[in-house]
A and B are shown apart, each in its own frame.
Chain A
């Protein structure tokens, strides 16, 4: 700690930070542009000037940029000094000489850092009389809108996009007062994290294009804290609604999880909530839609469940509460996981590894601090995007620890640090089936089949700890690589192993567990991150349940005749034929979901479930962190949360347990009691009767407009505001005005800070945890006395089969996930179907890029254009999984090549 004097008042601050961070942490309003807590200082914008005095007797002082000045003990500074104030106002004045008169039509207006800072410095009239500079804009793809006229040349965008997120296609062009921030030509921004530019840009150069389609100011949004449903990482988001439709997703700072950023799938994948294929009304197959209402549907579902022998199929994209109520309603023995059997086994294995293993699973924040990383079988950019961003930061860790601390440069001195580090990178090893976007950072890469990856992993574990099984028959190269990885991991302070379920191979998971356990046995603080298929796969695994295959068995063998399917499209979980058989055999099918798909077509009773923004619930992410998401806006009577539907059905059929519950909390308590590992769910959020100063927490900001007009077209008398019985939040602006607990911050706002930069005011220390601790409760901690048994299941090396290809799943950030793929902006970025094969194999098969390859997997025929790939191992092929145009099959699997069609494709010569 150090004592600094600000305007002659002493304050205790953390030593080593910069003055700007210290002042903001203390609650002073000091304007800034180029500094960002995640990206450090470069002192470019000259906006955060303060007076620094030599000692207490010095009355003149000098102007310093506070972001470039380290906190020292006994430092005297002044923020209120007239000269400093005038300087700051002048800087804004200069920035505004060319800033267009756009606020009224600018999407940033109302949440604009430049507006806030301009007001803060007191600059209000443009004194420059001459003409303004203009620029031509670029098309940057479906996510971001570009309006270059508004630029203030703070460089944050390129620092974020290139330096932080590793993007290649956004840069600064031209010179002097002609600086242009954009691409070298019009085109889609390639980075998967480009959406953050909308929040990183202090003004409206980059704005959310999806919000533009239904534009609403920040002050008019009804917002609630939510959790992203598009991958297993559980990034915290704020979802905003107006006039009954979801308008945008912005980042919700969580120091442990996503920090300041989100991936584009999370940010722009929300629009499916507003889509035309939403189920807005419950339907009964035997009745006209007009004749069906909520109560009739409930009655029908209840009598179906009462009459039949019921099984329930849960979902990894529904909350733990919804899954739990279904499990209770149908009984533990009749509850099946609505995931493919491979996924089911892998998720259970991952859970077991994390529970019984010695290694702790770190949060994303801790991943950034790892100084040696080994990734096994995962293409993180496409399967767990924010984890890839965290790994990008982790490769900087070793140079930071070694070079920068030796050179005595504070880590926040971004320009100096980058000049010193140059391209130096810490160790990162990637073993994957084909090239990934992180390869450019890797010390070494290894492309092979999942079995070979597992073998490499087992070899690494053996080199670290001799008790771990040895691998026979490795090539010299593989052995050398394994040795190198083992040595590097042992030499690191915080080694990290990343693996997951996306390779579809349990051996890869076991190998990664072996490495982590071996490192722990060597007293290393090793971390093990395992990615999971979907947002609540971990929660579902913790709930426990049978495989989907056993559900098929039960119905096809006549043990059950009624199926309750929770938020699930079974055609994405099992082969089409199998699912068709299931539906043919079932007498009654009750489906709860929010989007129409092939499974809802088969439903006899379809109940309209709320999408994530219309529901309360808890998700458990891959780290085992339980996080609460809140309903954003009230729905019509016809749509309600899945757990509420099942809860009401349970009440009608007088289920002995469900009938005792009265509220959402009773449900949660029953769940915690029945499944003790989920006890932590109760601590994720304050109870529904929680009040601050006797008041609820408002979802709408105090400037929310149009309350007496928005519904006046329906009826001029305003209705009573809807109430939310499930949590202590109101749907209106009425309620407690101060800062709510960290787990239920509906929006970031502080007086004078309307933009996302208001986050500073909610943190204990700028860039640190939120006040009251970061939200979420970790449910899994490593075993204090680990079993320390190494898996002995070393696989044999992969052997290609003639006339066969071993099909490996390939994932795409845009397209592989079911829900986001139905959002128009994301749909534009979905790749065309293809099959990736090794270039040598292609030569052998006489195939060229773009020609179609015909093969069948488990009787399903595919005919897809070939994409040549030099890294995918020979004898295998990559099939993009989950894309809307590609039929589901369980992968990895062997495919039989269809020879006949190939022969026809061959070039024919006629004489």
Chain B
């Protein structure tokens, strides 16, 4: 009997608490920057595509919902020919972001992706690529990689010595 009354009393007191429910969509949800929502592809500081088509995101994806094809421009810079995410399968685990060596793929705090037609949940590169660096500004993979791809010449990257002169005898 007592416990019954106590439960009713506690429930009554909840009526004076601050509301957890928000009036969505009139009122927007506050999300932290590391919230794992919609996936985007970002660009490096000089606005080149960050994605180098290494396939690590696709390999890491537990539901195999990422598919892409790498290709190269005339300088040998690699980029995805197509990049497709099937969001109807995506579980927003963020493994792709963790796997990405170039910080190209990022999960952003946005979940408003509902569609009436499931086919519309298939995002292609044009739907994914944004004109910005996203959460990790300043990183340019091709500056630290060894390959010369038009971004820099051989030996001109960060932490690189000029190319070896094979004809030199100096130690």
Q: Which residues of A contact B (CB under 8 A)?
A: 100-105, 109-110, 130-137, 147, 149-150, 173-176, 178, 180, 212, 214-217, 219-220, 242-243, 703-710, 712-713, 715-717
Contacts and interface: CB of A to CB of B under 8 A. Distances in A.
A782 to B, nearest CB: 51
A212 B53 CA distance: 12
Given A175-B169, A215-B71, A716-B88, 11 more contacts: A102-B147, A105-B52, A105-B78, A135-B163, A178-B166, A220-B55, A706-B65, A712-B84, A712-B86, A713-B122, A713-B124
A100 B155 CA distance: 11
A801 to B, nearest CB: 55
A717 B164 CA distance: 54
Contact of B145 (A101, A110, A212, A712): A101
Contacts of B118: 716-717
A212 to B, nearest CB: 7
A149 B149 CA distance: 14
Contacts of A134: 146, 154-155, 160-164
Given A178-B164, A706-B67, A101 B54 contact: no
A186 B37 CA distance: 49
Interface stretch (B9-17, B19-27, B56-64): B56-64
Interface string B142-162: 001111010000110001111
Contacts of B68: 706
List of 8 A-B pairs having minimum Cβ-Cβ separation, nearest first: A100-B146, A706-B67, A705-B58, A709-B67, A104-B54, A134-B155, A149-B146, A174-B166
Please indicate which of the listed interface residues A147, A215, A219 has the most CB atoms of chain B within 10 Å of its own CB. Answer: A215
A705 B61 contact: yes
B51 to A, nearest CB: 10
Contact of B154 (A136, A176, A215): A136
Given A104-B56, A706-B67, A147 B122 contact: no
18 contacts: A100-B145, A101-B145, A104-B52, A105-B54, A105-B145, A131-B160, A132-B161, A133-B164, A134-B163, A135-B164, A147-B147, A176-B171, A220-B58, A703-B59, A705-B58, A706-B67, A709-B58, A709-B64
Contacts of A243: 69
A716 B122 contact: yes
Contacts of B54: 103-105, 109
B141 interface: yes
A881 B121 CA distance: 56
A121 B157 CA distance: 29
B21 to A, nearest CB: 33
A332 to B, nearest CB: 49
A133 B161 contact: yes
A398 to B, nearest CB: 38
B75 interface: no
Contacts of A710: 67, 84
B141 A709 contact: no
B163 A136 contact: yes
B102 interface: yes
A709 B146 contact: no
Contacts of A216: 55, 69-70
A103 B101 contact: yes
B135 interface: no
B69 A709 contact: no
A18 B71 CA distance: 43
Nearest to B69: A243
Contacts of B59: 110, 217, 219-220, 703, 705
B3 interface: no
B86 A709 contact: yes
B65 A708 contact: yes
Contacts of B145: 100-102, 104-105
Contacts of A133: 161, 164
A110 to B, nearest CB: 8
A708 B166 contact: no
A715 B155 CA distance: 46
Contacts of A217: 55, 59
B85 interface: yes
B72 interface: yes
Contact of B67 (A100, A175, A178, A705): A705
Nearest to A109: B54
Interface in B39-53: 52-53
B160 A173 contact: no
Contacts of B89: 708-709
A596 to B, nearest CB: 26
A132 to B, nearest CB: 5
Contacts of B166: 173-174, 178, 180
A708 B62 CA distance: 11
